[in-house]
Amino acid sequence: MLKQALTHNGLIAILRGLRPDEAHAIGQVLYQAGFRVIEVPLNSPDPYTSIRTLRDSLPADCLIGAGTVLTAEQVQQVKAAGGQVIVMPHSDAQVLRAAKAAGLYLSPGVATPTEAFAALAEGADVLKLFPAEQMGPAVVKAWLAVLPAGTVLLPVGGITPDNMQVFVDAGVKGFGLGSGLFKPGMTVDQVASRAQAYVAAWNALN
């Protein structure tokens, strides 16, 4: 279902710093803009409450996940809160196995082909290419030439509506969007405007 959601729209919203009282309204405008995967990093205020609010308030075709998941214990807490996707900045095998055992979708962070192959061997559904600022389209193209056919690489870090095309041309099927989409203190209208700009840019490329 994760790959299916990304087929609908390859953009993942990363809401670092989201507060629980904002979660419902922000989730609604993202869904209306076309987002079908929303991630709340665990270093946000009371992230499990926000995850629960998003899961309870959005349609079933929108997957809710947690980012910056660092331990197997956190995997269980995410699942208990209704989260469906585990996103990691790294590729720790213990966390990968815990997420797989819990029946959750898995997007570990990778920065080398060695990490990418190891994560796929542990059952990763998609790979988070992080930080994308350090690894441009040439890296993506080289990786995709050797990774198994159908591997989904999602660059995260520094992605704007203006720089997506070079990555898409290299074979990218989606992106994770952080501070370019949402920052703490932004209004719902500001988030809606940025979400619409990203989706318009994505749709123009696909």
What pTM value is reported for the model? 0.96
Burial of 28 (0-12, 13-18, 19+ CB in 10 A): middle
pLDDT value for 77: 98
The model's confidence at residue 201, banded by pLDDT at 50, 70 and 90, is: very high
Domain ranges of the chain: 1-204
Whether 115 is catalytic is no
Instruction: Report the pLDDT averaged over residues 148-175.
Output: 95
- As a whole number of angstroms, the distance between CA 52 and CA 82 comes to 6
Query: How confident is the model over 17-70, as pLDDT tens digits?
Result: 999 999 999 999 999 999 999 999 999 999 999 999 999 999 999 999 999 999
CB-based contact 165:205 (threshold 8 Å): yes
Is residue 167 scored above 90 in pLDDT? yes
User: Peptide bond before 131: cis, by omega within 30 degrees of 0?
Assistant: yes
Locate tokens 């441009």: which residue? 136
Question: CB-based contacts of 116: which residues, under 8 Å, 6+ apart?
Answer: 110, 127, 143, 147, 151
Is residue 133 scored above 90 in pLDDT? no
Is residue 151 scored above 90 in pLDDT? yes
Q: Report the mean per-residue pLDDT for the chain.
A: 96
Q: How many CA atoms within 13 Å lie on the side-chain side of 186?
A: 23
Is residue 88 scored above 90 in pLDDT? yes
pLDDT value for 48: 98
1-204 CATH, one of 3.40.50.1820, 3.20.20.70, 3.40.190.10, 2.60.40.10: 3.20.20.70
Question: CB-based contacts of 20: which residues, under 8 Å, 6+ apart?
Answer: 45, 46, 49, 50, 53
Question: CB-based contacts of 146: which residues, under 8 Å, 6+ apart?
Answer: 113
SS3 labels along the chain? CHHHHHHHCCEEEECCCCCHHHHHHHHHHHHHHCCCEEEEECCCCCHHHHHHHHHHHCCCCCEEEEECCCCHHHHHHHHHCCCCEEECCCCCHHHHHHHHHCCCEEECEECCHHHHHHHHHCCCCCEEECCHHHCCHHHHHHHHHHCCCCCCEEEECCCCCCCHHHHHHCCCCCEEECCCCCCCCCCHHHHHHHHHHHHHHHHHHC
Whether 100 is catalytic is no
Active-site residue among 22, 39, 79, 173?
39
pLDDT value for 116: 96
Active-site residue among 3, 22, 115, 128?
128
The model's confidence at residue 147, banded by pLDDT at 50, 70 and 90, is: very high
